[in-house]
Structure 1
Amino acid sequence: MENKKGISRTELIALIVSSCIGTGIFGITTNVAAAAAPGPALLAWLFVGIGILFLVLSLNNLSNKRPDLKAGIFSYAGAGFGPLGEFISGWSYWLSAWLGNIAFATMLMSSLGTFIPMFKGGQNLASIIVAIIFCWILTLLVNQGVESASFINSIGTVFKVIPLVLFIILMIIGFKGGLFTADFWGHVANNMSKGTTTGSVWEQIKGTMMTLIWVFIGVEGASVMSHRAKNRSQAEQATIIGFILLVLIYVMISILPYGHLSRAALAAGGQPALGSVLEAVVGHWGAVMINVGLIISTIISWLSWTMLPAETTMLVADDKAMPKIWGKVNAKGAPTTSLMITGVLQTIFLFSLLFTQQAYEFAYSLAAAAILFSYLLVGLYQMKYSAENQEWGQFTVGLIASIFQLICMVLAGWSQVLLVSISFIPGFIIYWQNCKEQNHKMSGAEKTVIILVLLLSILAIYFVANGTIAIG
């Protein structure tokens, strides 16, 4: 019997882990500590872990059942809810991808600040100008057809994993159980808790959700790669194993520091958080080690994620859910129009960070909120497809995945979701242009959805104007 060539289970696990571990994990300690004490943080990981697991299971099932849908999560939305569904999914994913690059830029400049003081903090004018130059260098490189080779990804993975493994080992050594349990549930409000959230466990859990979702962005790549596996069974196993490894790494990175520093000290550590923690625990060399790894990792990740927004719009345009110009490629095979639009928007947004107190947190929270729209449509299509085929177990999987996304949208990230809805004002103009181009007459259901989203965007503008939603 001839063996099928393809990616092995081990290789696929490595790809899954590599695609998810980016800059988020290097900043997670500070963000989690500001929002939650150790107990609520562990419960938050359990809650978000279950929600993402059911999203992964939905993606796995749809990849197996609908291999004909080549555009992945965007085409799932299209198959379930028509061209408007695919447009909303693609637009949200595109927005999330380039907003994630803003977070990359802020973290990169903060890391450089360890060695060059003028970049300290990552959001002064010098940092923003250098970040913009770097953004356009990458944009022009991708426009020349530069593609991410496997060896570049391998180098990036090494520089991501080695500092993280050393961090975990150092955190295990000298772990202080008494400090870890001193205020396990975060109910104690005193001078030592300055800069952190105290109060109910649920409020603390809510405060961490967008941070935890941010570090899982990229997990959808597992379903995309499953068709390249030696067999579907290995792909499913790799998806689950990769997910479990990610959860273990994330939990240890974010929870173990509570046994070394007070929660207030962790929350005040600044970015990149892992460098600040190691500097406090072992000295300046710890910060240097983390920051060198982070700089190289960020540059490599940023190159890949410069390609991703353009790839997203190209796939959606190929499916005729966006105007053709968004998918038009140059002689080198790069979608120039999409790259240029994305580059201009990133430039504008980088300048806005001069007026935002927590630039990194603001950028990644918007990226996480945007991706929720795409993830929700995956869960809903999983429900629809499973109901049509009377697969009620899979229907339940989709139901849980959808409920989780809605909880995150409504309870944890409502202000960010409203801000993201503003982007659909120009978005729906582009969709209207596509309808004219494709001679597609919008249905009553499409018009209703557009009106509802636009009402949300008007509400968002009102809340920003009266200060209910603060930017900065």
Structure 2
Amino acid sequence: MSDADTSDKAATNGSAPAAKLTLLTLTTMVVGSMVGAGVFSLPSRFADETGVAGALIAWAIAGTGMLMLAFVFQTLAVRRPDLDAGVYAYAKAGFGEYLGFFSAFGYWASACVGNVTYWVLIMSTVGAIWPGLGEGDTDLAVLLSSAGLWGFFSLIKRGVKEAAAINRVVTVAKIVPILFFVVLALFYFKADVFADNFGGADYSGSLFNQVRGTMLATVFVFLGVEGASVYSRHAKRRKDVGKATVLGFLSVFAVFASVTIVSYGIMPMNEIAALRQPSMAGVLESAVGTWGKVFISVGLIISVLGAYLAWTLMSAEVLFVAAKDEDMPRFLGRATAADVPAPALLMTTCLTQVVLIVTSFSDDAFNFALDLTSSLSLIPYLLAAAFAAKIALRPDDRTHGGRGTRGELVVGSIAVIYTAFLLYAAGLKFVLVSFIIYAPATILFVMARREQGRRLFSPRELVILVISTAGAVVGVIALAVGWISL
């Protein structure tokens, strides 16, 4: 199938021809998706868990694992060009409709929870000069965040082309202050402070546990590596999807690792760990004074609003395509004349609003939302990686290129091991909370099956339903009796 054929086929998925995105636009959407709230929180997140040595090991593990995932999405874009919804489509093709549905819902829910972190961080940033906003979790902060949330809903409804163009400009604008931070931090770098921070002497836990404690933070900042894959139906050329994924990943990996490591040369670990979010602003303030904090804060607001735009687009797209594939209720498959999946966009905004309110009751709203976002995304990532390994071993007549290479099998296997380790690193708390969110989603699956007049669950699907429901029940009991808390 040629790129043109694939694009023409994709255009029929909606009620209007899909907007055609170039390699540059797809790459900026990947970068725009990943560079958001997470990068500005990295200094204190890492300093709270480990020293320089642990940070270097953590980035080596995260970089390798996420690069393998990037290669997975690059390979799948070429080997299965018929699959137009990225993470969700790969899970369904490899492991059946119900797990595919869970992948779609989990990916979508993680995006909605992730969007909450953006508003919390914006309000926390402004809260440094407007105490009424606190650290982004006061009633006033929630009210203002809600107004911004629905303002973006109105903007995105105007069309994918216009929103993508805005995202391209914002991506460039938000990279500048982050690079500026790295350059200035290197200029003010203190070798003795860096040396004192190297071993993580302030931490009594093993180096393994220190590294484990950073894993969810690294997952969060890399969320979006699959952004081009999600938008494959909008691509001018199918092969650009894989290129954009790898180019976007390599660009942001260099930035994220640099931001973390250079911070250890500015302040002692315990002082970095104690900084309010965004901690990057506090680090630069320590080096150059108040103007550095203001500069980073402005850059953060631009960055976070751009990331919110990109993630809202992607999450609505997942619901839309899942509905077109009859794995979500039909009402989510409707689109406007401007190619905007309006019902899916509305549902995305509503869930973000609900989570924004719930998260405000957490002891640490930002970090709780960040870790939950990462946890929800792990099942979709694990299933996509497993599918890549599966088709490398057993391709079918829809797999382009025949039997997979040994390299494809190695990449897929490493990606599976990495994402499985991340589930372990997440810990029982976030796994149980994820089940609480996943299990009720089955209502949407049942609605879709009833619309089609089909049997609600196969025997295999009933097993998955029982497991997910049991996990949710345990999670609710754990919250009720205080075993875990928000």
Deviation sequence 1:379-427 (CA, Å, 0-9, x none): 1111221111343432232121112111111233432122111112321
Match of 1:341? 347
Tell whether 2:323 aligns with 1:309: no
State the 1:339 CA deviation.
Answer: 3.2
User: How far is the alpha carbon of 1:92 from its aligned partner?
Assistant: 0.5
Alignment-mate amino acid for residue 184 of structure 1: F
CA gap 1:395/1:439 in 2 versus in 1, 3 angstroms: farther
Output one character per residue of 1:136-177: Cα deviation in whole Å (capped at 9) or x when no partner: 222233345465445412321232111111100111013122
Tell me the C-alpha RMSD between the 2 structures.
2.6
Match of 2:295 in 1: 289
CA distance in 1, matches of 2:444, 2:26: 37
- Residue 269 (structure 1) aligned to one of 272, 275, 278: 275
User: How has the CA–CA distance of structure 1 residues 238 and 302 changed in structure 2, closer, same or farther, with 3 Å as cutoff?
Assistant: closer
- Which residue of structure 2 lines up, in the alignment, with residue 184 of structure 1? 198
- For 1:136, which of 125, 150, 173 is the aligned residue? 150
Choose which of 47, 54, 62 in structure 1 pairs with 2:76. Answer: 62
> Cα deviation per residue 1:92-130 (whole Å; 9 max; x = unaligned)?
011011101100110111222244343242111111111
Query: Who is 2:361 aligned against?
Result: 355
Q: Unmatched 5+ residue regions in structure 1?
A: 190-196
Residue pair 2:112, 2:348 contacting (<8 A) in 1 also: yes
The separation in 2 between residues aligned to 1:304 and 1:235, in whole angstroms, is 16
- What are the within-5 Å matches in structure 2 for residues 212-223 of structure 1? 212-223=218-229
CA distance, structure 2, for counterparts of residue 10 and residue 38 of structure 1: 35
2:473: which partner in 1?
A: 458
Contact 1:229–1:235 (8 Å) recurs in 2:
no
Question: Structure 1 residue 272: deviation in Å?
Answer: 1.0
- Structure 1 counterpart of 2:255, which letter? I
SS of residue in 1 equivalent to 2:335: coil
Deviation per CA, 1:344-373: give whole Å up to 9, x if none. Answer: 332232222332121111111111111111
- 1: CA distance between counterparts of 2:377 and 2:414? 17
Tell me whether 436-445 or 401-410 shows the greater mean CA deviation.
436-445
The answer on whether the counterparts of 2:74 and 2:246 sit within 8 Å (CA) in structure 1 is no
Contact 2:171–2:306 (8 Å) recurs in 1: no
Partners of 1:237 and 1:95 lie apart in 2 by: 27
Instruction: Work out whether residues 163 and 309 of structure 2, in 8 Å CA contact, stay in contact via their aligned partners in 1.
Output: no
User: Are 1:375 and 2:389 an aligned pair?
Assistant: no
> What is residue 443 of structure 1 aligned with on the other side?
458
Q: Tell whether the 8 Å contact from 1:159 to 1:294 is kept in structure 2 after alignment.
A: no
Aligned equivalents of 1:338 and 1:230: distance in 2? 26
Compared with structure 1, are the counterparts of its residues 19 and 355 closer, same or farther at alpha carbon in structure 2 (3 Å cutoff)? closer
Match for 1:101 among 108, 115, 134?
A: 115
Say if 2:85 and 2:231, in contact at 8 Å, map to a contact too.
Answer: no
SS of 1:468's equivalent? coil
Q: Residue 327 of structure 1: CA displacement?
A: 2.0
**Residue 287 of structure 1, CA deviation:** 0.9
Contact kept? 1:148, 1:304, Cα under 8 Å: no
Alpha-carbon shift at residue 237 of structure 1 (Å): 5.6
- What is residue 327 of structure 1 aligned with on the other side? 333
User: 1:62-102 CA deviation, whole Å, 9 max, x = no partner?
Assistant: 11011111122211111112221221111001101110110
Using the alignment, how far apart are the partners of 1:248 and 1:461 within structure 2? Answer: 40
Q: Distance in 1 between matches of 2:28 and 2:145?
A: 29
Indicate if the aligned counterparts of 1:83 and 1:320 stay in contact, CA closer than 8 A: no
> Could you say which residue in structure 2 is the equivalent of 1:38?
52
- Check whether the contact 2:33–2:310 (CA below 8 A) recurs between aligned residues: no
Residue 436 of structure 1: CA displacement? Answer: 1.6
Is 1:116 the equivalent of 2:122?
no
**What CA distance in whole angstroms lies between the structure 2 residues aligned with 1:134 and 1:11?**
25
Query: 1:20, 1:204 → 2: CA distance?
Result: 24
Q: Deviations over 1:322-345 (max 9, x none)?
A: 111222335655444333333333
Contact 1:114–1:288 under 8 Å retained in 2? no
Q: Which moved more, 1:438-447 or 1:85-94?
A: 438-447
Using the alignment, how far apart are the partners of 1:255 and 1:123 within structure 2?
Answer: 29
Matched, 1:470 2:485: yes
User: Against the structure 1 CA distance between its residues 136 and 11, is the aligned structure 2 distance closer, same or farther, given a 3 Å change threshold?
Assistant: closer
Shift of the alpha carbon at 1:28? 1.3
Aligned pairs, number: 460
Percent identity, aligned pairs only?
32
Match of 1:192 in 2: none
Matched, 1:74 2:80: no
In 2 relative to 1, CA 10–296 (structure 1 residues): closer, same or farther, beyond 3 Å?
closer
